[in-house]
Amino acid sequence: MSKTQPSDVDRTARPDVEFTTAPARSVRRATLYAMTYSPWSEKARWALDHHRVPYEYKLYTPMLGEPLLRLRALRSRTWPKRVTVPALLAEGSIHLDSLQIALYAERNGSNFNLFRDTTAVTRWNDLSERALQAARILSTARALADREAQVEFLPPFITGALRPKMTWLARFGAHYLERKYRFDASKLDAARATYREALLALRQGLADAGAPYLVAHRLSYADMTMAVTLQFVVPVSDDFIRIGPLQRRTLTDPELAVEFADLVAWRDDLYQKHRR
């Protein structure tokens, strides 16, 4: 499945924007392995869609999908210590990081550049990574405590009356992620402090930049990477990322949703303008 971004920005009205007008060479259709509700996957998809890079989307199931993805990596002569998503298979290579996928899209796609100020954009991406890692701890703790929501986190091939009896698999998956990414879902206070600090930095960054964009007064990957950080405050509308209502409950932080309502509104406006 591929998506197409809205019409091009008016180039005559924006002489300050650098455009990648067309791929420099023929790019074969890529394959993106991703998870629907993952902010890391959304970063990659947004960049690919913005640059109109054609790709086939394949849903990745944690644990169960890892052996196949590792095999794909080996076939591309890549030997990663840890296989994770998003992962983009393109032209015989595999890209195993949201930022690397975004840079691939920048090199091979069309539409205006997202990395005009690479230093500033990378700095915001680093902050986003720290924030998301902390927020994942908070969300995992909520998911482990919510037996109803665990049903929605089960893979789609588990159907019907079997699903409520298989919540142990969702819990096992959550603990698997703890081990894989080396985090402790019990260390909530430190994680909340890190996450909140990143959100405060985003608020200040928008104020310093004169909003609504963090870098160079136009959309960049910095905006994308920080917008998805708010997925663990209040998930974006199902119009953009479809998740179940119980999954939405575990991804929502009611306290932070009140404190950072202005950032949620900023994120929603950004999606309306640039993610249709």
Same domain for 78 and 185, yes or no, is no
pTM summary value: 0.80
* pLDDT, greater one: 13 or 177: 177
- In angstroms, rounded to a whole number, what is the distance separating the alpha carbons of residues 41 and 58? 11
Same domain for 241 and 159, yes or no, is yes
CB 233 within 8 A of CB 253: yes
Position 75 in a domain:
yes
CB 223 within 8 A of CB 254: no
- The chain-wide mean pLDDT, for the chain, equals 83
- pLDDT (tens digit per residue) in 209-243: 998 999 999 999 999 999 999 999 999 999 999 99
| pLDDT greater than 50 at residue 51 | yes
List the domain range (segments joined by +) for residue 37.
Answer: 27-111
- pLDDT (tens digit per residue) in 111-132: 999 999 999 999 999 999 999 9
Total domains present in the chain:
2
Same domain for 155 and 231, yes or no, is yes
Same domain for 160 and 184, yes or no, is yes
* pLDDT, greater one: 233 or 7: 233
| pLDDT greater than 60 at residue 198 | yes
Q: What is the pLDDT of residue 6?
A: 34
Q: How many CB atoms lie within 10 A of CB 37?
A: 20
